[in-house]
Amino acid sequence: MTMNSPRIGIYGVSTQSGRAFFADFLAKGLTVYGYARPTEHGCEAVKTFADSGGIYLERPPNNIGEESRFISMGASKVGHDLEELIAFSDIIFLPHPSQHLEETAQLLKDSGLLSRPVPLVLTPPRTLASPYLWRILGEGYPLISFATSPYSAKSIDEGVYIKRRKRSWMASLEGRVSGEEQALIASLFPQALFSHIPATTSLGNLGAVFHPGGYLLNYDAIMKRQREGGTYSFYMEGIAARSEVGEKLEEIDQMRLRIAHRLGTPVFGLREDPREEEWRAMMEKLGRAEEDIADEDISSLRETRHEYLQVIYNAVVSAQHWLDYSYGVARIPGEGLSSAIRRTPTYQKRSTPQQRYLDEDIPTGLVPLEALARRLDIDCRAVTEVLDLYGEKMNSDPRSQGRNLEPFSTDYLVRHLQGSPEDAPSSERTDS
């Protein structure tokens, strides 16, 4: 791998996040192989990019002066060849729904991935992806887990609409990730805050907090609006305007924080110990430092955020605290989630319900979180209520096929989340 000219692979270039990665990497002058599965959707995207010779990036007005434009592919390629993706890439990003990660890992393995173990970036993995992927790729295979996608993005006909790039996010280094590979990710995404504690991303799964409950507790209203041909504002109508929904989502959030606390992971926003003064002091210092930096000086802003946010690198934070450091929605102690959502500009436009809020965030979010809470004897009634509601609405048991944690011992899972070296030897798992 050459740090000055790394070759980037994208598995899932046809997805909305995959398009955003593709556009940003091309804009940086990097050479990319964008892979899409040979489905109708994947073939259409590859043909569009290949025929036009690039991708169109649409941007709203922004404080860095970035304009909508067409970005040429240059020497980069798009296609459907997994072997070429593996042979080409120094690192491979997997920006597709996390319920497909095991299938993707198996396809990559069958196409020769283990002959040159290219690090995989899971964007995002949701909860406890690595143990499942290591069953396929071998314990300790290098994985870099982004707690969230770096982008708020939507697919458009000729490319991608990037509504916003997130200011900061956690990235856990899991397995045998080398210093050079970490440095490569840091060069591509200076916003990433690195941790060697997998709990920061597995339990930092905000999609599980917002999406399934927000969808299912508003299910009838969403379906009615769809039948009428209208658009339902997921965050504004479903959460901001319905305090009872916000309160239920907060119960899910608090369960997530209690799991982290039980594991000994630092936590901000836990009701029993919120650490508000420490948070306020940290964010005030960051704010004062940022005031002296011009908005367009992105590099200095990122360096400053890294310096002042070090305390949360190995922490799990509440949804409201996450909105603070990710979207700049200043934390108000005691404020409910509905109110904090109402104040979040990025949720006020184009926040429509998506099927992936159920298809992805149920099996890879709520299912493993409930299973983990039960093993640790932590109250999980709010999650159980949402999962039971899913079973009622979809006539399907979500726990039978999701990440129910059955293949793993509790000791293995705890030590993995705490960041034990190499996580655990294979003999510690309960699967054969």
The larger pLDDT score, comparing residue 309 to residue 75, is at 75
Q: Which CATH class is domain 7-197?
A: alpha beta
Q: How many CA atoms lie within 13 A of 357 on its CB side?
A: 22
Q: What is the pLDDT of residue 64?
A: 77
DSSP at 115 = G
* Helices within 293-380 (DSSP H only): 298-308, 319-327, 337-342, 356-359, 367-375
Residue 371: closest CA among 131, 68, 50: 131
- Scanning 71-117, the segments in alpha helix (DSSP H) are 82-88, 101-110
What pLDDT was estimated at residue 424?
A: 34
**Lowest mean pLDDT: which of 92-101, 110-119, 167-176?**
167-176
Say if residues 80 and 35 touch (Cβ distance below 8 Å): yes
Which has more confidence, 285 or 371? 371
Q: What is the pLDDT of residues 260-273, one digit of tens each?
A: 999 999 999 999 99
Pairing of strands 77-79, 69-72: unpaired
Q: Is the pLDDT of residue 103 over 60?
A: yes
Query: What's the Cα-to-Cα distance from 60 to each of 24, 57, 162, 164, rounded to whole Å?
Result: 15, 10, 8, 8
pLDDT band at 308, cuts 50/70/90? Answer: confident
Counting beta carbons within 10 angstroms of the beta carbon of residue 230, is it exposed (0 to 12), middle (13 to 18) or buried (19 or more)?
exposed
> What is the pLDDT, as a whole number, of residue 109?
98
Residue-wise pLDDT for 177-201, tens only, equals 999 999 999 999 988 889 999 999 9
pLDDT recorded at residue 4: 66
User: Please, where in the chain does CATH 3.40.50.720 lie?
Assistant: 7-197
| Residue 399 neighbours by CB under 8 Å, 6+ apart | 367, 370, 371, 387
pLDDT of residue 2: 55
Q: One-letter amino acid identity for 322?
A: W
When pLDDT is averaged across residues 24-34 and rounded to a whole number, the result is 97
What's the pLDDT at 152? 87
The tokens describing 411, both together, are 């000791």
Query: Where do the CATH 1.10.1040.10 domains begin and end in the chain?
Result: 206-394
pLDDT, mean over the chain: 92
pLDDT top residue among 7 and 293:
7
**Per-residue confidence (pLDDT) for residue 430, from 0 to 100:** 41
Predicted confidence at residue 36, as pLDDT, reads 98
Residue carrying the six token digits 């940003």: 24
Q: Fold for 206-394, please state it.
A: N-(1-d-carboxylethyl)-l-norvaline Dehydrogenase; domain 2 (1.10.1040)
Confidence of residue 367 (pLDDT cuts 50, 70, 90): very high
Q: Rounded to 5 degrees, what angle do the CA atoms 366, 372, 373 make?
A: 85
- What percent of the chain has a predicted confidence (pLDDT) above 70? 95
pLDDT of the residue at 63: 75
